[in-house]
Structure formats: C-alpha cells, structure tokens
C-alpha cells in the first residue's frame, strides 16, 4: 500500500479548502453507520485527520495501517493491507477511505475484505471521482501531482461492477457532494444529478458506496430452475430486479 498517499491525504484534508469534502464524507458515513450493527469494525488506512466513525454503534473499532497511528477511540493494527491479518468471517463492517486507490491491486483487496466479512456484513468505500474537473487539477497541475498521478483513479461504476460480481447488494452508490448548483435550481439539479449518475459523468469530487455481503444469491443460479407456480407473473412479462440506488443529497432532506 502507498502509505505516503494516506499520509499526504491526512494533511491534505486539514487544509481549509477541503473541509467541505471532509464534511460530505462524514455525512455519508453517519447515515450509513446508523444502520450497521455488530462487534468489530475495521478501517483500512487513515487518510482523515480525525475519527469520522464516531457515530458507529459498533464498540470495537480498529484502524489498520502500515505504520502506527493514533486515533482516539480506535485500536491500531500495524499490517500491510495487501495481507489483512484477520480471520475469515470475523469482521462486521469494513471502511475503505481512499484505500482502493492506494493499493497495487484493488480487486485483490476487495476479495480480502470479502473473506473477513461476516455474512450480511457491510463494506463502505469512498474515493476520488476521476471525471471531476476539480480532480483533474490536483491530478495534473497541483503541487502534489506526482503523488496523485500514482493513484488508481477508479470510476464508481467500476467498483460497483466488482461488488455485483462478488454477489454484494448495493445499498448506496452516489457522488458527493452532488449539490453543485445554486439552491434556486434544486429541482433541475436533482434531475441533472440523476441523468449524470446514469451516464457515469457526474462532476462530484468524491463517490461513496455502501454494500452488503449477501448470505444468499440475488438471482437463481444454474440453468435448471423454474419460477414457482404461485408467482403472479404472466407469460412474457419482465421480472423486476434489484438496481443500484442512486440518490442525491436533496433526497436526504
């Protein structure tokens, strides 16, 4: 894992101009964590200058990093996140703050997270949106452009595809902050947000994903299956399936 990236982001988020981004991530985490219960929560990496998981109802919270870090209210495990030192199905929730961007093989890390998560456990992911014009500046022209250029600039929809492939149910997938038009254009902003999310061209600087590990598959597997006789579906009708939920911040109010 590129520890220097996590250390850089820890200082980067302390700058006055980045407080809005930090607050947007905290709002997303606060909402997601109120619905998650269990015994153990693990945060992989420490890119934030403060504990954003304080609202979690899980008592034991652990931050895993390659170097010792001190965060009040959290225990520290020093380890390489490429080889997570946790037992199979032993963790109730895993938070990946800019972690997929910092590792050599993001999909490999997701497979490891899947290994340590209990059935019906949750994974929460935040990352930079590569389609954001504001992120183009820090990637190509900012003072730390050499470090930011080394990131894996993953599109949110690509990470969602990986999670779907692994059998996860997507609880939330949205770009943040999405309130980028003036308040008087709130209705137009909601509609434009929806269209941009569908086209994967949203200009929001960050994205957030909340997904749940399923104990049963979402759809029948194999070729030899039939719909039950009692299902009220006429011949030739489409069966509705679960779809990714895209919400704008306006829907929270």
pTM of the model: 0.74
Q: What does the pLDDT read at residue 196?
A: 62
Structural domains present in the chain: 3-216+233-252 (3.40.50.150)
Q: Cα(13)–Cα(186) distance, rounded to whole angstroms? A: 28
pLDDT exceeding 90 applies to what percent of the chain?
26
Cβ distance 38 to 213 under 8 Å? no
Interval 87-121: pLDDT, tens: 999 999 999 998 998 888 999 999 999 999 999 99
Which of 96-110, 114-128, 172-186, 229-243 is predicted with the least confidence, judged by mean pLDDT?
A: 229-243
Q: H helices within the chain, ranges in order?
A: 3-12, 19-33, 106-116, 133-140, 145-148, 156-165, 186-199
From 170, 173, 66, 71, select the one nearest 126 (Cα to Cα).
173
Rounded to 5 degrees, φ, ψ at 124 are -120, 125
* Mean pLDDT of the region 183-207: 64
């Amino acid at each position: 894992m590129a520890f220097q990236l996590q250390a850089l982001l820890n200082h980067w988020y302390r700058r006055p101009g980045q407080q809005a981004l930090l607050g947007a991530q905290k709002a997303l985490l606060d909402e997601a964590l109120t619905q998650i219960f269990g015994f153990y929560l693990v945060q992989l990496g420490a890119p934030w200058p403060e504990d954003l998981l304080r609202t979690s109802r899980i008592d034991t919270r652990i931050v895993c990093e390659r170097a010792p870090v001190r965060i009040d209210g959290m225990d520290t495990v020093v380890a390489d996140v490429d080889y997570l030192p946790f037992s199979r199905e032993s963790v109730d929730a895993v938070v990946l703050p800019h972690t997929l961007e910092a590792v050599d093989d993001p999909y490999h890390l997701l497979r490891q997270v899947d290994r340590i998560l209990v059935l019906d456990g949750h994974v929460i992911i935040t990352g930079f949106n590569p389609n954001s014009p504001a992120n183009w500046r820090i990637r190509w022209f900012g003072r730390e452009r050499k470090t930011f250029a080394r990131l894996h600039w993953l599109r949110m929809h690509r990470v969602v595809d990986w999670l779907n492939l692994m059998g996860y149910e997507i609880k939330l997938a949205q770009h943040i902050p999405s309130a980028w038009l003036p308040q008087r254009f709130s209705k137009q902003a909601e509609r434009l947000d929806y269209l941009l999310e569908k086209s994967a061209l949203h200009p929001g600087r960050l994205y957030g994903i909340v997904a749940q590990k399923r104990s049963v598959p979402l759809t029948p597997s194999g070729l030899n299956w039939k719909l039950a006789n009692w299902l009220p579906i006429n011949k030739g009708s489409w069966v509705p399936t679960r779809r990714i939920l895209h919400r704008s911040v306006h829907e929270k109010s």
